[in-house]
Amino acid sequence: MNDSSGGTVLIRGGRVIDPGSGLDRAADVLIRDGRVERIGVGLESGGARVVDATGCLVTPGLIDPHVHLREPGQTHKEDIASGTACAVAGGFTTVCCMPNTVPALDSPELVRWVMRRAAETGHCRVFCVSAGTVGRKGERVADIAGCVEAGAIGISDDGDAIADPAMMRAVLEQCAKCDRVFMQHCQDPAMTRGSVMHEGAVSRRLGLVGWPREAEETIVERDIAIARETGARYHVQHISSAGTVDLIRRARAEGLRVSGEASPHHLLLTDEAIERQGAAAKMNPPLREWSDVIALREGVADGTITVLATDHAPHSADEKRRPMATAPFGIIGLETALALYAEALVHPGLIDWPRLIGLMTIEPARLCGLDAHGLGSLVEGGVGDVTVIDPEMEWVIGPDDLKGKSTNTPFLGWVVRGRAIATIVGGRVAFQQTRKAVALG
Ligand SMILES: [Zn+2]
């Protein structure tokens, strides 16, 4: 990604929201040489490229702390260029990529390789989450300090949990030493052998191997105990069960540095989607029941869940067409996340737009230490990463809206409201969407 565009952009007439500083007012934003030069009323364009933000929210660039860019090794699904094209189309200026590539991101050399590749081919900022164990195998602690020094902003074996508690403790001790967050994919492997979907009435009806909530909750409970002992910062990825929300709520009340994230699909869908859509709705962790969806939404509303993350997980159409038992887990999410979060949280009145923006900017920035890079904020003199959102724009999610190599989403055809109309990365307009009303029906 080329940062030094040198161009000047004036975002005119929007509602400027910066949750980190509490700013929320009508103003223009002038960006010059990659920085926010001024936030004020009636700014002169002076030859700047003008973005009309009438009726729009002007926010810090959105941050997704959990995406899969599939490079190196699985570039038939996605690569850094295509994945970051999805990101800017969804309003994201920064993404954090998970280490379950081929090979796994478990060494400083690989972290540097991805960052160099992102600088050359990416459309937005990319930060690496590096593996906690060598090859993500859960057997030997990876060179966490080396990876952090190379630029890793978090540690995870995502795709798998670290199953051995002694290994988990050793990894958390390293994370605490490096002051980096550990992000756990909470899945007890012994409880989920061959599991395809949530264990319940639907799995029994379909005759598919179930995946109980306890497979997630027992890992979370164990890890909170280890986090308490080690003082490490611990983060639960893609929460799926109501019990996990309760465990995190209690840990936070105790003052532990424990957090969790929710993904669009877990805030909107239940296991019944599997019955209707098959592998298109096959996720890891699985979609659960309506009571879990409600608990996740309440967890966001009461401040237990502080971060939203897509878990953008591209897979080819051929792979997703396999039978339920062998089709891969996961769906894409970057292009549709903002509208779907609004659908789950803002439109029903659980939180307002400034809260939603906070969950997508300053909160993930703090989680990953990106606030130290000036990301997640919109302030004079700060980094020129800005997203312009039309909160009322209604649109139908269609194939043309998907910018990556894969189109595996169960949300095709959904009518949603709210969309990023401009994404500015380091002062450069990386994406712009025309605002003409979409014909519905
Ligand atoms: Zn995961």
pLDDT tens-digit series, residues 164-221: 999 999 999 999 999 999 999 999 999 999 999 999 999 999 999 999 999 999 999 9
Taking the centre of ligand 1 as the mean of its atom positions, its distance from the CA of residue 121, in whole angstroms, is 25
Q: Please report whether residue 129 resides in a domain.
A: yes
Distance between Cα 66 and ligand 1 center (Å): 9
Q: Does residue 439 fall inside a structural domain? A: no
Boundary residue ending a domain (345, 373, 401): 373
With respect to residue 3, please indicate whether it lies within any of the assigned structural domains. Answer: no
- One domain for residues 115 and 260: yes
- The token pair at 252 is 């936070």
Q: Write out the DSSP string of 90-135.
A: TTEEEEEE-S-SSS-S-SHHHHHHHHHHHHHH-SSEEEEEEPSBGG
Domain end position, chosen among 349, 373, 397: 373
Q: Please indicate, yes or no, if residue 1 is contained in any of the structural domains.
A: no
CA 407 to each of CA 97, 157, 278, 352: distance values in angstroms, whole numbers, following the listed order: 19, 25, 15, 30
Both tokens assigned to 27: 């103003």
Catalytic residues: 311
**CA 23 – ligand 1 centroid, Å:** 34
Q: What is the percent of the chain where pLDDT is above 90? A: 96
User: For residue 50, what are its two tokens?
Assistant: 């003008």
Q: Is the pLDDT of residue 440 over 60?
A: no
Same domain, yes or no, for 305 and 398?
Answer: no
Find the 318 Cα to ligand 1 centroid distance in Å. Answer: 22
- Domain of 36 in residue numbering reads as 8-58+381-432
CATH number at residue 395: 2.30.40.10
Whether residues 201 and 98 fall in one domain: yes
Domain of residue 137, CATH code: 3.20.20.140
- Reported confidence tier of residue 6, pLDDT bands at 50, 70, 90: low
How far does residue 233's CA lie from ligand 1's centre (Å)? 18
Indicate if 364 and 387 belong to the same structural domain.
no
Q: How far is CA 356 from CA 27, 57, 67, 298, 337, in A?
A: 20, 12, 19, 14, 11
Among candidates 189, 82, 79, which has minimal Cα distance to 136? 189
Residue 3 has pLDDT above 90, yes or no: no
Q: What is the mean pLDDT of residues 137-141?
A: 98
Question: Is 292 contained in some domain?
Answer: yes
Mean local confidence (pLDDT), 324-330? 95
Closest to 235 in 3D by CA, of 167, 186, 291, 174:
186
DSSP, collapsed to helix, strand or coil, labels residue 222 as: helix
Per-residue pLDDT tens over the stretch 219-256: 999 999 999 999 999 999 999 999 999 999 999 999 99
- pTM, 2 dp: 0.97
Q: What SS3 state is found at 208?
A: coil
In a domain, 291, yes or no: yes
In this structure, the number of other CB atoms found within 10 A of the CB of residue 41 comes to: 9
In a domain, 241, yes or no: yes
3-class DSSP state for residue 347? coil
Q: What is the mean pLDDT of residues 46-63?
A: 97
Q: 189 and 244 share a domain?
A: yes
pLDDT for res 2: 47
Last residue of a domain, one of 323, 349, 373: 373
Contact 105, 59 (CB under 8 A): no
| pLDDT of amino acid 441 | 39
Q: Give φ, ψ of 294 to 5 degrees.
A: -60, -45
Are residues 351 and 422 both part of a single domain? no
Please report the pLDDT score of residue 231 as a whole number: 96
Q: Check if the beta carbon of residue 423 is closer than 8 Å to that of residue 387.
A: yes
Q: Which of 360, 353, 355, 356 is nearest to 376 (CA)?
A: 360
Q: Are residues 148 and 46 in the same domain?
A: no
Tens of pLDDT, residue by residue over 372-402, are 999 999 999 999 999 999 999 999 999 999 9
Q: Which residues pair with 17 in a beta bridge?
A: 24
Expressed in angstroms and rounded, the spacing between residue 158 Cα and the centre of ligand 1 is 5
Question: What are the tens digits of pLDDT across the range 284-320?
Answer: 999 999 999 999 999 999 999 999 999 999 999 999 9
Taking the centre of ligand 1 as the mean of its atom positions, its distance from the CA of residue 95, in whole angstroms, is 15
Do residues 221 and 232 share a domain? yes
Residue 45 CA to residue 49 CA, distance in Å, equals: 8
- Specify whether 127 is located in the same domain as 236: yes
Sequence-separated (6 or more) residues with CB below 8 Å from residue 428: 2, 3, 5, 7, 34
State whether 32 and 68 are in the same domain. no
Residue 204 CB neighbour total at 10 angstroms: 10
How many alpha carbons lie under 13 Å from residue 164 in its C-beta half-sphere?
Answer: 12
SS3 14: strand
Q: How far is residue 371's CA from residue 268's CA, in Å, rounded to a whole number?
A: 29
262 and 228 co-located in one domain: yes
Say if CB 145 and CB 176 are below 8 A apart.
Answer: no
Residues 6+ apart with CB under 8 A from 434: 421
Protein residues placing their CB within 5 Å of the ion ligand 1: 158, 185
pLDDT at site 7: 84
Ligand 1 midpoint to CA 255 (Å): 25
* Residue 237 shares a structural domain with residue 369: yes
Residue 161 to residue 183: CA distance in whole angstroms: 9
Taking only the tens place, the pLDDT of each residue in 336-368 is: 999 999 999 999 999 999 999 999 999 999 999
- Mean model confidence pLDDT for the chain: 96
Q: pLDDT category, 84, cuts 50, 70, 90?
A: very high
Query: How far away, in angstroms, is 67 Cα from ligand 1 center?
Result: 9
Could you give the CA distance from residue 157 to residue 160 in angstroms, rounded to a whole number?
6
pLDDT of residue 241: 98
The number of distinct structural domains making up the chain is 2
> DSSP string of 294-336?
HHHHHHHHTTS--EE---B----HHHHTS-TTTSPP----TTT
The three-class DSSP label of residue 345 is helix
Using the mean position of ligand 1's atoms as its centre, give its distance from the Cα of residue 226 in Å: 20
